[in-house]
């Protein structure tokens, strides 16, 4: 009996320690992406790849709130769970320097027609360091920050007359940030209607993606990309003015606005709470869908993010496709990337609702007329700019998120917050050895 018990214990122990689930990764590709509509489109598109090659594609959709954590945790654990990761542009530095992404430079130069892809998209989603010609990804979904507006309000003759009387010009989708504020003020009629839903949230990169395009358009910048010096750039008078402007919009936004990111601005717009809302173009298919937006699907217009007094810049969204350095299916992954970048596939990708980086497809009449918002998206393209993509981006982002959100809620003045961010950013760069 004792012997039996002992053998049982040893058996259980062995099972616990050495048993690992067997996997059969043959001819199967696993792609990690966030849970949103474009991932559904890609899932559908990938059926064509399976039909052509017989290789099964498993698209793992991770909720946005867990997306970064899940992918980075897998990388830190050197897990081969994902073959392809469709990650944010800011991740490039960390994941290339950290050895998590496969260096695709030679392969891309040999296999992909880089000239067919928008240079802005290649630089933002594929290249690190910027201008080095080293590639770690291919652009998959190229997105931009855009605006929605209520056509029933903007096209109402009575509203138009009242607006002209008050502001001295015609009521139309704004071309400048000053006009945007006027219109937001005009439509602010609490508690049922507010002028605008901007991104103010402290979550992930919310307020940064909303504010940085205002900062650039007001003549500001994060810093010198050559020297990484920040002092005098991010806390310049231009940025102070931009932040004060962005904060002033709070008076014309719903009371919950300090918590708003893409999901909340979209909800506020669909609920008829706001006349205008900021959001990524990738979410606009849901806005014109009568099931998802029953009240305003046919009363929604779209416009390009406005220009500022010193320029015009728009926050880039979207993600690039990278191959995990820990994948055991790197050859299949490359085959998928090559297949995805073909013009006919890009055409179908755009047809399904994806935002293609393929220049010819993007400018084609078919694409421009496919949805009511594609023209505004294509018009946004020349103005796209991005946050720092260095390995320390998360720390830099954290300082911005907290500092800018503190200004919105009135805890700090714009100047105080920006000086603080400049100090923190320089400390981060110094710590990482950028000034050595």
Partner 1 sequence: MRTARFSRGFSDYQIKMAFIMPTMILLILMNIFPLLWSLYLSFHRYKASMPNRPAKFIGPQNYARLLTDPEIWGYFQTTAYFVVLAVITQFIIGFGLALLLNREFRYKGLVTTLILLPMMLSPVVVGLFWRFIFASDASGLVNYLLSPLFGGPIGWTTDPKIAMLAVVIVDTWMWSPFMMLISLAGLSAIPKYLYEAADVDRASQWFKFRWITLPLVSPLLLIALLFRTMDAFKMFDIVYVLTREGGPGIATETVSMNLYKLAFRNYNTGKACAMAYILLIIIVALSNIYVKHLNKVRGEA
- Which residues contact partner 1 (rule: CB under 8 A)? 2-3, 5-6, 9-10, 12-13, 16-17, 68-69, 72-73, 75-76, 78, 94, 97-100, 191, 201-203, 254-259, 273, 391-392, 394-395, 398, 402, 405-406, 408-412
CA-to-CA distance for 141 and 164, rounded, in angstroms?
39
CA distances from 130 to 196, 216, 219, 410 (A): 35, 18, 21, 36
The nearer residue to partner 1, 412 or 425, going by C-beta atoms, is 412
Q: How far is the CB of 423 from partner 1 (least distance, A)?
A: 11
H/E stretch holding 287 reads helix 284-287
Q: How far is the CB of 121 from partner 1 (least distance, A)?
A: 25
Q: How far is the CB of 90 from partner 1 (least distance, A)?
A: 12
The nearer residue to partner 1, 200 or 367, going by C-beta atoms, is 200
Q: How far is the CB of 388 from partner 1 (least distance, A)?
A: 13
Say which residue the tokens 């994902």 belong to. Answer: 82
Q: How far is the CB of 133 from partner 1 (least distance, A)?
A: 21
H/E stretch holding 330 reads helix 330-340
CA-to-CA distance for 235 and 214, rounded, in angstroms?
14
Q: How far is the CB of 271 from partner 1 (least distance, A)?
A: 8
The nearer residue to partner 1, 278 or 361, going by C-beta atoms, is 278
CA-to-CA distance for 89 and 142, rounded, in angstroms?
10
The nearer residue to partner 1, 111 or 402, going by C-beta atoms, is 402
Q: How far is the CB of 47 from partner 1 (least distance, A)?
A: 34
List the one residue out of 268, 295, 279 whose CA is nearest residue 373. Answer: 279
CA-to-CA distance for 270 and 406, rounded, in angstroms?
28
List the one residue out of 338, 316, 317, 340 whose CA is nearest residue 104. Answer: 338
* Furthest CA-CA distance within the chain: 97
The nearer residue to partner 1, 120 or 293, going by C-beta atoms, is 293
CA-to-CA distance for 14 and 61, rounded, in angstroms?
35
The nearer residue to partner 1, 127 or 392, going by C-beta atoms, is 392
CA-to-CA distance for 270 and 291, rounded, in angstroms?
11
The nearer residue to partner 1, 2 or 168, going by C-beta atoms, is 2
């Amino acid at each position: 009996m004792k012997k039996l018990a002992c053998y049982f214990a040893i058996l259980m122990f062995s099972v616990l320690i050495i048993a690992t689930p067997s996997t059969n990764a043959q001819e199967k590709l696993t792609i990690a992406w966030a849970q949103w509509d474009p991932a559904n489109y890609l899932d559908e598109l990938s059926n064509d790849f399976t039909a052509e090659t017989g290789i099964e594609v498993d698209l793992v959709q991770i909720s946005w709130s867990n997306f970064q954590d899940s992918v980075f945790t897998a990388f830190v654990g050197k897990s081969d769970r994902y073959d392809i990761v469709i990650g944010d542009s800011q991740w490039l530095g960390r994941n290339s320097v950290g050895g998590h992404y496969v260096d695709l430079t030679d392969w891309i130069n040999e296999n992909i027609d880089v000239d067919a892809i928008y240079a802005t998209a290649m630089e933002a989603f594929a290249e690190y360091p910027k201008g080095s010609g080293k590639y770690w990804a291919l652009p998959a979904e190229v997105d931009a920050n855009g605006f929605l507006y209520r056509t029933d309000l903007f096209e109402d003759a009575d509203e138009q007359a009242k607006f002209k009387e008050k502001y001295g010009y015609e009521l139309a989708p704004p071309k400048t940030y000053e006009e945007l504020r006027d219109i937001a003020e005009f439509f602010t009629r609490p508690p049922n209607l507010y002028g605008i839903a901007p991104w103010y949230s402290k979550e992930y990169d919310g307020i940064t993606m909303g504010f940085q395009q205002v900062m650039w358009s007001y003549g500001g910048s994060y810093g010198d990309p050559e020297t990484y010096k920040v002092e005098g750039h991010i806390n310049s008078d231009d940025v102070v003015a931009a932040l004060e402007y962005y904060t002033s919009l709070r008076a014309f936004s719903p009371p919950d606005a300090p918590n708003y990111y893409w999901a909340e601005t979209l909800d506020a717009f669909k609920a008829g709470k706001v006349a205008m809302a900021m959001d990524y173009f990738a979410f606009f298919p849901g806005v014109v869908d009568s099931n998802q937006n029953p009240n305003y699907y046919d009363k929604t217009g779209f416009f390009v993010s406005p220009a500022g007094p010193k320029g015009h810049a728009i926050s880039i969204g979207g993600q690039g496709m990278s191959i995990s350095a820990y994948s055991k299916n790197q050859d299949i992954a490359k085959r998928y990337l090559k297949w995805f970048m073909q013009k006919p596939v890009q055409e179908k990708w755009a047809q399904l609702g994806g935002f293609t980086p393929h220049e010819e497809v993007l400018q084609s009449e078919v694409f421009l007329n496919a949805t009511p918002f594609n023209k505004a998206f294509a018009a946004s393209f020349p103005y796209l700019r991005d946050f720092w993509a260095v390995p320390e981006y998360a720390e830099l982002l954290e300082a911005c998120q907290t500092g800018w959100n503190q200004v919105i809620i009135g805890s700090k003045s714009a100047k105080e917050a920006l000086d603080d961010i400049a100090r923190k950013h320089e400390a981060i760069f110094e710590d990482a050895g950028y000034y050595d």
